[in-house]
Amino acid sequence: MNARAIYRKLSQTLRRTALVPDAAGAREPSEEMRLRAEIRVVCAQMEQADTVFNNVTDPDLIDASVFTMRACERKLGYLVKQAKAQRAAMMLEAHDTRCNQALKMP
């Protein structure tokens, strides 16, 4: 899978499932914004490495672009795991809040 396909798939996934649902008591949006910004930066780095890979002939530059793309793939994996963990934690908090409110009702 090339860098463009990874970026497209990641973008579609992020659009379909927002990192932070619009719920009361959600974590501060700065964490979500930080994750999204980091993902955009890593995707841009991956695109740049892909462009270098496709346009150079020097074996050292080809190796460097491959290493950069692999590093970006690993970092994207890490960031996606963080985003999923954050979303799961917020879903649990929202569920706990609803349960606590239901228990308070007479």
For 21-35, give one letter per residue: b (16+ CB within 10 A) or e. Answer: eeeeeeeeeebbeeb
Q: What is the pLDDT of residues 42-96, one digit of tens each?
A: 999 999 999 999 999 999 999 999 999 999 999 999 998 888 888 877 777 766 6
pTM recorded for the entire structure: 0.61
**Residue 43 Cα distances to 4, 19, 83, angstroms:** 9, 17, 15
Report residue 30's pLDDT band, with 50, 70 and 90 as the boundaries.
Answer: confident
Residues contacting residue 66 through CB under 8 Å, at least 6 positions apart: 49, 53
22 located within any domain? no
Question: For residues 50 and 24, which has the higher predicted lDDT (pLDDT)?
Answer: 50
56 located within any domain? yes
21 located within any domain? no
Whole-number Å distance between alpha carbons of 96 and 100: 6
91 located within any domain? yes
Give the domain extent around 55: 3-12+27-104
20 located within any domain? no
18 located within any domain? no
19 located within any domain? no
Q: Compute the average pLDDT of residues 7-32.
A: 58
> Into how many domains does the chain fold?
1
Tokens of 39: 């993902």
